Amino acid sequence: MKKICLTLIGIYIMFIGAFAQKATRPDTVYEVKPLHLDEINLVSSYYKQEGIHSAVTGGIGNEHVVDLSNGLDVKFVGWDARHNKHSLDLGLGFDHHTSASSAYVSKSGASKTDGTRIYPSVEYTVENVRGNSFGFGAYYSTEYNYKSVGLDLHAGRKLGTNTEIDGKISGFFDKVKMIYPSELIPAPTIVSPSTYTTASGRTITIDGQSSKDNIPSSPRNTYSASLTLSQIVNTRMQFSVMLDMVAQNGYLGLPFHRVYFADGSVHVENLPETRKKLPIGVRLNYFLGDKVVLRSYYRYYMDDWGLRAHTAELEIPVKVTSFFSIAPFYRYYTQTAIKYFGAYGTHTANDQYYSSNYSLSALTSQFVGAGIHLAPPKGILNQHFSALDARFGHYTQSTELYANVLSFAFTFK
């Protein structure tokens, strides 16, 4: 992982060097424009899911979930005396979900039937007249069972007029609350005022003494490095190649996921404390005249838990009028199971690691739907309400899970 990080940092420094080169300035005097409000985006979505393989109840329970998500993104743009473009993006997301299976999760002896997640973010990017850019981002997310802090550095460089390379390194640092099923809450053995050892032998850091109101937490860290190469082939064709390298360590399961063994005993999901992932993707866009675009995407994924996956997606935006378009889409996905997955009642005491989470099983899924885009020249209702996007999709999975999602995006200039 250190080698990956050092490589990406080197690339990042190369981008900064390219950015620092003095830009050719025109003879005319350039007007400095401080950061000003450029665009506001509001996104809202409704998601409803049904299934019969909840991990909370060992792979046999109700997977009913309803999620209402809302997001606000505010973008500021300005230019300095060197013609550099400065962009500041401020985001705030809010999700609220209810789940049938969460009623079986005990938090200090009480059932938890819903959850709320709040996740603010900030990104700052500077781009020069050649199109080279660099910047940073910071993210925070909190829910009743975890907290997460994220940081990233990103950079882009133009290689000629038709080629661009972008890179990003990021880290997310999570704290997962050790909320056990009510029948499996371990009696802690106090080691010191800041740590205790659970019945399974895991040492967990806590603040102060253990009590029913002070639920301990365990760390989960995710480090990633990504590269994207984009190429304009001709006036009709564009493609990009994406490579991600991800490494995780810490508590990678969830303590309230039950696993039932063949002998009828019940246990807490146990997974390795490290995981390495390698997704590789290709995106190809082809313009069929002025009214139709073919947008295709393929990704191959592999990790050291034994999961292998393929994703293929096709979207076809069709321009009905100069300001109205419709875009049907279809996505197919297939994966193998991880080495540690087993259905209800199949694991034994000989298994070092075990999970009955069906999202880690062998499965196939399909996602089909359509979106519309409306952007009249004079705006919607008024000139500041510039665009409206709506999208509906139906999702099915071979594990007898299905879901519907409806989303809206409003753009204000």
Q: What is the pLDDT of residues 83-96, one digit of tens each?
A: 999 999 999 999 99
Using the predicted structure, report yes or no on whether residue 29 has a pLDDT greater than 50.
Answer: no
Say yes or no to pLDDT of 173 above 50.
Answer: yes
From residue 356, how far is each of 61, 178, 202 by CA, in Å? Answer: 11, 18, 21
* pLDDT reading at 114 higher than 70: no
pLDDT category of residue 161 using cuts at 50, 70 and 90: confident
Answer yes or no: is pLDDT of 27 > 50: no
Residues 6+ apart with CB under 8 A from 257: 55, 56, 268, 269, 355, 356, 357
Above 50 in pLDDT, residue 387?
Answer: yes
pLDDT at 171: 98
**Span 269-283, pLDDT tens digits:** 999 999 999 999 999
Could you give the CA distance from residue 14 to residue 22 in angstroms, rounded to a whole number?
15
Q: 349-386 pLDDT, tens per residue?
A: 999 999 999 999 999 999 999 999 999 998 898 888 99
What is the model's pLDDT at position 187?
63
pLDDT higher than threshold 80 for residue 107: no
Strand partners, 141: 148
Cβ neighbours around 45 below 10 Å, total: 16
DSSP3 helix / strand / coil % (the chain, rounded to 5)? 5, 60, 35
Question: How far is Cα 372 from Cα 347, in angstroms, rounded to an integer?
Answer: 47
Exposed / middle / buried, residue 155 (Cβ in 10 Å: 0-12, 13-18, 19+): buried
With bands split at pLDDT 50, 70 and 90, how would you rate the model's confidence at 195?
Answer: low
More confident residue, 352 or 198: 352
Q: What is the mean pLDDT of the chain?
A: 87
List pLDDT tens digits, range 127-141. Answer: 999 999 999 999 999
All structural domains of the chain, each given as residue ranges with its CATH number in brackets, are: 2-20+37-412 (2.40.160.40)
pTM, two decimal places: 0.84
The C-alpha atoms of residue 146 and residue 134 are separated, in whole angstroms, by 31
* CA within 13 Å, CB half, 6: 3
CA pair distance 356, 338, nearest whole angstrom: 11
Q: What confidence score (pLDDT) does residue 73 get?
A: 97
Classify 328 in phi/psi space as left (phi over 0), alpha (psi -120 to 50) or beta: beta
- Please, are residues 132 and 15 in contact by the beta-carbon 8 Å criterion? yes
The pLDDT of residue 17:
45
